[in-house]
Amino acid sequence: MTVKFPTYLALWFLMLCLFPSSVNAQSSVAREWNEALLLAIRNDFARPTVHARNLFHVSAAMYDIWAVYSKKGKSYFLGQTHGGISIPFDGVPDPVDRLSAQEIGISYVAYRLIRFRFRNSPGWERIYHHVDSLMSAKGLDMTFFDEEYQSGNPASLGNYLASRIIDFGLQDGSNEGGGFQNLEYKPLNEPLLLSEPGVGALEYPNRWQPLTFETFVDQSGNQMAAGTPPFLSAEWGNLIPFSLIEDDLTVHEVNGRICRVYHDPGPPVMLEDKQQEMNEAYIWNFQLVVNWSAHLDHEDGIMWDISPRSMGNFSEDDFPFTQDAYQQFYDPFEAGKIVGSGYTQNPYTGRPYEPQIVPRGDYTRVLAEFWADGPDSETPPGHWFSIFNYVSDHPEFQRRMEGKGKELDPLEWEVKGYFTMGGAMHDAAIAAWSTKGYYDYVRPISAFRYMAKMGQSSDDTLANFHPHGVKLQEGWVELVRDDDPLAGKNGEHIGKVKVKAWRGHGFISTTEDIGGVDWVLAENWWPYQRPTFVTPPFAGYVSGHSTFSRAAARIMAILTGDEFFPGGLAEFHAGKNEFLVFERGPSTDVILQWARYVDASDQCSLSRIWGGIHPPIDDIPGRVIGEKVGKSAFYHAKTYFEDVVLSNFPRSEKVGVKVYPNPINAGGSLWLKLPDQSKPYQVSLISASGKPISVFTIDPMTQNEWEIQNLNISPGIYFLKINDGIEQWREKILVR
């Protein structure tokens, strides 16, 4: 059996969740509100960073309500402190009906957060109508605003938690109160006027260049007046993360601006004077994007098997980290090793995967459109929540944490899954955009047009030579000659660079036209994107798609305990001449297929090269960061799921625990103070992944303070688990 993602009006897979009736009968109240949040995101401005944060905060809120009433695990917001911001919590009485209390509390906290976070959305009316209808259908009073949760009313607890998270969000470094605008970042380059050929007054070819549109339609299909969209979230490294720790952080300074970069990958390749090797790498990266633009021709006679029989099964051990390795990995003309070696058989059925032979140009166009951000997109973080939902609905899937133990009920599975995925997407956004904001790296449309403006760097005996120019490739990148159709009416283009690439929107009048691939002036090269969008409004390095998708794929694999989609295959059907947005196609039915979660992630990464959005140097570091983020987010989330008793009072009042100093320097001594009692305490020091480091017994009858000397452990997050024989509780320790 396979997972089939239904065709959707706005081209996106996994969109059946637009309709409330599509929610699986076995799903929970958390699923209903997750679907409502995804609908809200589709009707908002396309802001992947902001929506990763929304997905995390709403998911964590739903998890907290579940945890408090289930008396399982540890809450994330309630009674906790993050980034110096505390949310007090005095506990709640045991409810008569635990499930009803969870459903009411989750509904109120999600409802309040969605209405607040999306109050200024262009689609606010549709969002409000949907969430109001959901509350009405549940018989819940939307005018009830009481926050006195100690009374035992779960609606009050939902209202209280929503208010505290709203307050938290106004202090978490996002500048939500200022509309998420950058406070210090300023672009170095003047904007590129898209109505004109060339690159304009690009002064710094290594840095991001804003784009000026006559009409701009963002990734969610929202049309805006002529103007220049600003860099989205250039200072996102300032946010309070989920699992990212100080060891992951590098602090840089740029002209007095402090840049906090998580999982810093180091600088990308640059154009520099007298740095030939570096220049060659820069030219190769951005020219490959244009070379791959020629792969968008469905009539070139090149056929590919796009089934898991021939694609996927790529190992991260093969990631390139040198320029020579990059050039072997990404072939400019044949796509090289990047598609993977495929699988000999489906591990679920034991039978080989059926081949699927289609024109390469249909596959590349569908893939580029499929993973693009819009219109009506829930952005990459939301895509993977949809994938989580559809995997959860699969008839062969069992809701077992890490594929082990008893099957969880739908509510527990979904609140834990959303919390984990949300934390990973939030951290992926922080890591990727902290890198984007610091390195401020150029996009292909600016880089390649700049190189074309410089000329060619292959032969100093030929016209238009410059060491920063493009490389001539016979049949692919050449100079315009006097007898060339591109020479111009008065020969004004003779000696300029021309490329064989997708021709762009000048050859498309209606959606029944096809741009096609042919020779175009390099100064007019265009990414395979809508003319009102062109390129996302933020720097390229590193790829957000690569980071989000790799982190999410890793979460799915660990969470489910299986690298493979249920049944060993997931599919999306793009119908003949029904799928593409701005041109006709594909010319035949195309079925995108993935065996493993990382196969989908890898194809997502490649789609951004065929789409003209990223060069290879943006891709691989993003995948590497995503892999780190996914693993750390899962194991951090898991520490909240341990079955500890949640007391009805703050732990500090009930048990008098004090641990200091915290944070502590590696090699230092940790002091522990516990209340008097007749029985000894058992204290365990465990790593963030749950691995025991040391266990010791403390007798409170002898003294009430103890020194744990010489903590010779690596910097990171650890936990002290304390058991008094009746209850157990835990304190987080940060070792620097």
CA atoms of 504 and 507, how far apart (whole Å)? 6
On the question of pLDDT at 648 being above 50, the answer is no
Residues recorded for the chain: 736
* Residues 712 and 719: beta-carbon distance below 8 Å: no
CA atoms of 149 and 417, how far apart (whole Å)? 26
- What beta strand segments (E) does 68-185 contain? 81-82, 85-86
For 522-553, write each residue's pLDDT tens digit.
Answer: 999 999 998 888 899 999 999 999 999 999 99
Closest-CA residue to 470 (of 444, 491, 493, 488): 444
Residue 726 has what pLDDT?
Answer: 58
The percentage of residues in the chain with a pLDDT greater than 70, rounded to a whole number, is 88
Cβ burial, residue 712 (10 Å; 0-12/13-18/19+): exposed
Torsions phi, psi of 363, nearest 5? -60, -50
CA atoms of 208 and 541, how far apart (whole Å)? 10
Identity at 324, one-letter amino acid code = D
Q: Output the six-digit token pair for 5.
A: 């993602």
With tokens 């309630």, the residue in question is 78
The 3-state DSSP class for residue 716 equals: strand
Identity at 416, one-letter amino acid code = K
Contacts of 708 (CB under 8 A, 6+ apart): 669, 670, 671, 672, 685, 696
- What beta strand segments (E) does 295-352 contain? 303-305
Give the number of other CB atoms < 10 A from CB of residue 551. Answer: 35
Q: Output the six-digit token pair for 368.
A: 């580029």
pLDDT band at 335 (very low <50, low <70, confident <90, very high): low
* Residues 641 and 73: beta-carbon distance below 8 Å: yes
Closest-CA residue to 290 (of 171, 147, 446): 446
For 70-118, write each residue's pLDDT tens digit.
Answer: 999 999 999 999 999 999 999 999 999 999 999 999 999 999 999 999 9
* Residues 605 and 622: beta-carbon distance below 8 Å: yes
Which of 10-14, 120-124, 721-725 has the weakest average pLDDT? 10-14
Contacts of 498 (CB under 8 A, 6+ apart): 477, 478, 479, 480, 484, 486, 519, 520, 521, 522
State the pTM of this model. Answer: 0.85
pLDDT band at 656 (very low <50, low <70, confident <90, very high): low
Please give the average per-residue pLDDT across 686-697, as a whole number.
70
Contacts of 166 (CB under 8 A, 6+ apart): 112, 113, 116
Identity at 687, one-letter amino acid code = S
Residue 373 has what pLDDT?
Answer: 59
N-term to C-term CA, the chain: 49
Going by DSSP bridges, is the β-strand pair 192-193/85-86 parallel, antiparallel, or unpaired? Answer: unpaired
* Residues 152 and 104: beta-carbon distance below 8 Å: no
How far is CA 12 from each of CA 170, 191, 379, 485, 582, rounded to the nearest angstrom?
A: 32, 31, 11, 39, 15
* Residues 31 and 414: beta-carbon distance below 8 Å: yes
Contacts of 423 (CB under 8 A, 6+ apart): 56, 59, 60, 242, 243, 633, 636, 637
How far is CA 397 from each of CA 3, 4, 24, 345, rounded to the nearest angstrom?
A: 11, 14, 13, 20
CA atoms of 433 and 427, how far apart (whole Å)? 10
* Residues 464 and 455: beta-carbon distance below 8 Å: yes
CA atoms of 716 and 126, how far apart (whole Å)? 44
Please give the average per-residue pLDDT across 234-259, as a whole number.
96
- Domains of the chain in sequence order: 445-524 (no CATH), 651-735 (2.60.40.3080)
On the question of pLDDT at 14 being above 70, the answer is no
Give the number of other CB atoms < 10 A from CB of residue 460. Answer: 9
The alpha carbon torsion through 491, 493, 497, 500 (nearest 10 deg) reads -80
On the question of pLDDT at 276 being above 50, the answer is yes
With tokens 């365990």, the residue in question is 684
* Residues 5 and 572: beta-carbon distance below 8 Å: yes
CA atoms of 105 and 484, how far apart (whole Å)? 70
* Residues 27 and 595: beta-carbon distance below 8 Å: no
* Residues 221 and 374: beta-carbon distance below 8 Å: yes
Q: Output the six-digit token pair for 608.
A: 């951004």
On the question of pLDDT at 492 being above 70, the answer is yes
Which of 195-204, 263-272, 697-706 has the weakest average pLDDT? 697-706
For 142-175, write each residue's pLDDT tens digit.
Answer: 999 999 999 999 999 999 999 999 999 999 999 9
> For the CA atoms of the chain, what is the radius of gyration?
27
Contacts of 192 (CB under 8 A, 6+ apart): 199, 200, 202, 209, 210, 211, 212, 445, 446, 449
For 604-623, write each residue's pLDDT tens digit.
Answer: 999 999 999 999 999 999 99
Q: Output the six-digit token pair for 468.
A: 């920063």
CA atoms of 604 and 606, how far apart (whole Å)? 6
The 3-state DSSP class for residue 565 equals: coil
Is residue 393 within a helix (H) or strand (E), and if so which, with residue range?
Answer: helix 379-393
Going by DSSP bridges, is the β-strand pair 192-193/211-212 parallel, antiparallel, or unpaired? Answer: parallel
